[in-house]
Amino acid sequence: MCVCQTMEVGKYGKNATRSGDRGVLLEPFIHQVGGHSSMMRYDDHTVCKPLITREQRFYESLPPEMKEFTPEYKGVVSVCFEGDSDGYINLVAYPYVENEALEQDDMPERDQPRRKHSRRSLHRSSSGTEHKEEKPGLASDSTESSIQETKSPRVDLHLHSDVPFQMLDGNSGLSSEKISYNPWSLRCHKQQLSRMRSESKDRKLYKFLLLENVVHHFKLPCVLDLKMGTRQHGDDASEEKAARQMKKCEQSTSATLGVRVCGMQVYQLDTGHYLCRNKYYGRGLSIEGFRNALYQYLHNGIELRKDLFEPVLAKLRSLKAVLERQASYRFYSSSLLIIYDGKDSRAGMFVERRPEMRLKRVDSSVPESLQDGGGTEPGSSAQPKVDVRMIDFAHSTFKGFRDDPTVHDGPDMGYVFGLESLINIMEQMREENQ
């Protein structure tokens, strides 16, 4: 039995799905495009991920000027397995209570050293809107030791996008047709549950970080996940892991550009699908291949989104200036998300300019939300909303942080080099497509 099942959760976040009368049923975050730890949806504004203490402490220690470029840190929840009436296993989140939570070591990073557990309490979204209540049965004490024998974790995602996703490379092992979530998110979710189930006899509770859902404000989020810097291994990495990470960098654009594609999804107006790529695609790209991937990310299937150049470049330049002032900081293995909205207010213009696109096809492939005339009027000079956020700080460090023995001088020039490469490529692309 989950040790926290007698606790009262209190007010739920906006559109959080309740499990019984207490917990919040976690669901895979359908817009995860990269990474290895499964991102889970907590509510509309919040996602959560397995807690690594170094990352938690780093979020708590962020310099104020970096907070514009990172997800808001919202605290910690306790997560446990609960079985439903059909025998499936669900992950359910409860308020974190330090005395009841077991120590969280590095679940996703097997070769990191053990670290002390969190002292941060739960923070909730202020809205109290709820989904229809679900009441799955709780796993009992008698089934705790035999959790491996229960049915496989539920992988038919509760949340679905109205827009299909299409993975262009075959590494996901999933069909590219008629799937309503990024295939990488399901891959990560299945692997995460497998790891957690294998440890379930020794651990009843897991700790997850609560973070801002940075794509919440976008109707059709187009997301590019970039692994930043020329070095990916942390100071505490084993020799074997350091060598493995260095090899990945040497064989990819991490060495030549300081940045490589870790995943992406981009909405295509001509098909009504998200086009998806994963990290294996990104690792094999040459410099020219990286340019082409960036071009593809900024292309909606009909035309290059030239209106995105200036707002994205402005964000990147501002972030570069901020990081150049962060002496001793290193962001090893962290990623950068670039996000814009595939819900282009000019969708009607595309239809008018392309008479060969039959009306029937347009009506069936472009969601109604793109045909409702909402948002900025066609021809408006308003810049599109874009966002740039740094994520994944499990290997980050700075002078005086957690008594780290290795202290670095100056800013993280590997990361800055990656930003410079990205800025230069986008500036060249803008000039070539004026």
Predicted TM-score (pTM) of this structure: 0.78
Ramachandran bin of 67, using left for φ above 0, alpha for ψ from -120 to 50, beta for the remaining angles: alpha
Residue 44, helix vs strand vs coil: coil
Q: How far apart are CA 88 and CA 158, in angstroms?
A: 13
Give the pLDDT score at 205: 86
pLDDT given at position 122: 37
What separation in angstroms does the CA of 61 have from each of 21, 319, 398?
35, 18, 10
Cα 397 to Cα 67, 258, 293, 326, 327, distances in angstroms: 16, 19, 30, 11, 11
The helix or strand, by DSSP H or E, that contains position 340, with its residue range, turns out to be strand 335-341
Q: What is the pLDDT of residue 364?
A: 41
In degrees, rounded to 5, the angle at the alpha carbon of residue 417 between the alpha carbons of residues 235 and 229 is: 35
Report the run of H or E that residue 47 belongs to, with start and end.
Answer: strand 46-50
* pLDDT per 10-residue tile (average), the chain, 434 residues: 39 55 86 90 96 96 97 95 78 82 44 35 36 33 36 48 63 52 83 78 82 96 97 94 94 96 95 92 96 97 97 98 97 97 68 42 45 44 90 96 96 98 98 94
Which two three-digit tokens encode residue 28? 């895979």
How far apart are alpha carbons 397 and 407 in whole angstroms? 8
* Rounded Cα distance, 248 and 280, in Å: 11
**Beta strand extents in 192-319 (DSSP E only):** 206-212, 221-228, 259-268, 273-277
Buried b (16+ CB within 10 A) or exposed e, 11-49: ebbbbbbbbbebbbbbbbbbbbbbbebbbbbbbebbbbb
